[in-house]
């Protein structure tokens, strides 16, 4: 499936000019044209090629890219960069950078035919921060045998496909900030690899997660970044012995951001402040917002996250309240019988002696219950430690689980078959965050005697929805920033969510609004 609704951008290698062309149908160009770096005005005539570029002309018109007014973050989500040169020329010779933007679909992406043709050599491919899963990676990318640099960081990859071994010229591979539990042995095919970045994943202990024998044979490998993988902290000796040619980074710098030098979490944020509401967003997302919403592009090499955040806050401040409006949303009431039964069950929980989970948010009590596995006749339940603990906890809170199941069945029978867990909490406070492990929308319900306490969900750069979940079942997407508004009284919440299965596109922040 090809991306649709593309924005096609071209920048000369010198970076002096960026032009773009809106395309209403799937983009599969076989020719391209570089905009002349000397021109900076919108143009309607065909662009001319740079001196010396042997590229066929086209009849396309070019103009500086301006995002569509009112475009949501989902509409501009899928964007990746291609850097290529004509023929077999080395990087830097007749080179362009290309960006393709799509609809945010999680269907497999297709690289344009131009990138795969023999007329161009693709040197670098950046697909950073696109919400990509392993299934949505384009199969064609593994055939790019002249690719030198690949950036798949800040995505949702749970495994790195074995096809990566076909990138025999690759020198730099960045797979950091994903969900990888192990690296494939096919990395041994990357005989030109110099730098491997795999920090901030979920890698298991080294002997189970790293292809040590294969990495040890990569003679050009000089750096392996494995920081912020908790189970690899003690692997320094093993890596030095198995991969002696490369420097392994295992310990990151001391986390900063909150009082006492500890890393800031959602629990530390004052949800009434705009800065706190924006903090859950990644740096590339903040940077895109600054450029696309406020027309202020920044250079990632010279402008860091703190500076981007300051500039973004200044832009909002200049626009005043009209720059970020709050829209009230109310959905259907849950049946009174289920309201009363669930509230009584939640009040009956011994919250004081129940271990509070998810310490990164503020709440007097927080626990999750996992959907039990569906077993075939005669099949034994899973015997892992985690599975046994989940089953034991579900037994303790079986009545709560059953009532929650009845509640979701009463409003959305289809979703009732797909959610993987519920989270229940007592007196959840503020805590702006994004549910990064979710693979689709969730349902939210709040119960109790309280005033205020709406669920606040950022639906776009200029809008926040104030969602009334008091005794109401509301479908929202937790992959958008959200938090709980100020309230007084006793507030319980129940969240139905899905972290397993095929991801669904991130399109709408609040459904039925």
Give 113's pLDDT tier (boundaries 50, 70, 90).
Answer: low
Give the DSSP per-residue string, 444-472: EEEESSEEE-PEEEEEETTEEEEEE-BTB
Output 80 or 269, whichever has higher pLDDT. Answer: 269
Please state the separation of Cα 59 from the chain's center in Å. Answer: 37
Residue pLDDT, tens place only, 216-249: 999 999 999 999 898 888 888 899 899 999 999 8
Give me the pLDDT at residue 329, please: 93
Q: How far apart are CA 187 and CA 202, in angstroms?
A: 18
Domain boundaries, the chain: 1-126, 257-323, 326-497
Output 161 or 65, whichever has higher pLDDT. Answer: 161
Exposure letters 166-184 (e unless 16+ CB within 10 A, then b): bbebbbbbbbbbbbbebbb
CA angle 404, 503, 266 (to 5 degrees): 65
Of the CA atoms within 13 Å of residue 238, those in its CB half-sphere come to: 15
Q: How far apart are CA 469 and CA 330, in angstroms?
A: 7
User: What are phi and psi for residue 139, nearest 5 degrees?
Assistant: -60, -30
Q: What is the pTM of this model?
A: 0.65
Average pLDDT over residues 3-32: 30
Q: How far apart are CA 428 and CA 480, in angstroms?
A: 18
Indicate the average pLDDT of the chain. Answer: 78
Give 121's pLDDT tier (boundaries 50, 70, 90).
Answer: low
Does domain 326-497 match CATH 3.60.130.30? yes
Q: How far apart are CA 457 and CA 460, in angstroms?
A: 9
Average pLDDT over residues 466-494: 96
**In the chain, how long is the greatest CA-to-CA distance?**
77
Q: How far apart are CA 463 and CA 73, in angstroms?
A: 11
Average pLDDT over residues 87-101: 40
CA angle 365, 425, 349 (to 5 degrees): 65
- Number of other CB atoms surrounding residue 394 within 10 Å: 15
Which residues contact residue 160 at a Cβ distance below 8 angstroms, ignoring those fewer than 6 apart?
134, 175, 180, 183, 184, 187
User: What are phi and psi for residue 142, nearest 5 degrees?
Assistant: -75, -5
Average pLDDT over residues 394-414: 96
Give me the pLDDT at residue 382, please: 82
Structural tokens at position 511: 């459904």
Which residues contact residue 404 at a Cβ distance below 8 angstroms, ignoring those fewer than 6 apart?
342, 369, 422, 424, 494, 496
Q: Given a cut of 90, is residue 292 above it in pLDDT?
A: yes
């Amino acid at each position: 499936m090809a991306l649709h609704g593309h924005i096609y951008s071209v920048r000369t290698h010198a970076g002096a000019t960026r032009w773009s062309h809106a395309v209403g149908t799937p983009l599969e160009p076989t020719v391209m044209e570089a905009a002349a770096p000397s021109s900076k005005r919108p143009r309607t005539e065909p662009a001319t090629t740079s001196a010396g570029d042997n590229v066929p002309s086209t009849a396309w018109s070019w103009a500086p890219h301006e995002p569509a007014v009112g475009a949501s973050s989902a509409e501009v989500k899928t964007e990746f960069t291609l850097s290529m040169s004509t023929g077999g020329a080395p990087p830097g010779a007749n080179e362009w950078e290309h960006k393709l933007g799509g609809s945010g679909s999680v269907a497999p992406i297709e690289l344009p035919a131009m990138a795969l043709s023999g007329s161009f050599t693709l040197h670098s491919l950046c697909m950073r921060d696109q919400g990509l899963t392993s299934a949505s990676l384009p199969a064609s990318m593994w055939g790019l045998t002249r690719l030198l640099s690949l950036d798949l960081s800040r995505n949702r990859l749970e495994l790195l496909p074995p096809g990566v071994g076909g990138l025999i010229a690759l020198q730099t591979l960045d797979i950091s900030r994903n969900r990888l539990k192990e690296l494939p042995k096919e990395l041994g095919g990357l005989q030109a690899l110099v730098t491997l970045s795999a920090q901030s994943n979920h890698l298991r202990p080294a002997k189970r997660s790293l292809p040590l024998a294969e990495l040890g044979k990569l003679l050009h490998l000089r750096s392996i970044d494995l920081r912020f993988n908790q189970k690899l902290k003690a692997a320094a000796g093993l890596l030095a012995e198995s991969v002696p040619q490369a420097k392994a980074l295992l310990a990151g710098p001391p986390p900063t951001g909150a009082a006492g030098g500890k890393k800031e979490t959602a629990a530390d944020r004052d949800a009434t402040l705009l800065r706190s509401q924006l903090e859950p967003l990644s740096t590339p997302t903040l940077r895109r917002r600054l450029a696309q919403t406020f027309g202020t592009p920044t250079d990632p090499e010279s402008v860091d996250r703190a500076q981007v955040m300051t500039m973004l806050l200044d832009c909002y401040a200049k626009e005043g309240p009209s720059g970020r409006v709050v829209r009230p949303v109310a959905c259907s009431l849950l049946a009174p019988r289920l309201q009363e039964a669930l509230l009584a069950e939640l009040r009956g929980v011994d919250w004081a002696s129940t271990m509070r989970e998810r310490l990164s948010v503020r709440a007097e009590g927080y626990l999750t219950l996992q959907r039990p596995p569906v077993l075939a006749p005669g099949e034994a339940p899973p015997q892992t430690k985690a599975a046994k603990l989940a089953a034991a906890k579900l037994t303790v809170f079986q009545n709560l689980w059953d009532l929650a199941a009845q509640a979701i069945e009463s409003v959305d029978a289809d979703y009732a078959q797909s959610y993987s867990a519920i989270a229940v909490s007592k007196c959840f406070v503020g805590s702006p965050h994004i549910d990064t492990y979710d693979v689709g929308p969730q349902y939210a319900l709040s119960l109790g005697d309280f005033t205020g306490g709406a669920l606040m969900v950022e639906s776009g750069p200029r809008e926040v929805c104030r969602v009334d979940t008091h005794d109401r079942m509301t479908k929202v997407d937790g992959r958008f920033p959200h938090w709980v508004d100020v309230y007084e009284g006793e507030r319980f919440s129940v969240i139905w969510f899905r972290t397993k299965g095929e991801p669904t596109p991130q399109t709408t922040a609040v459904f039925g609004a």
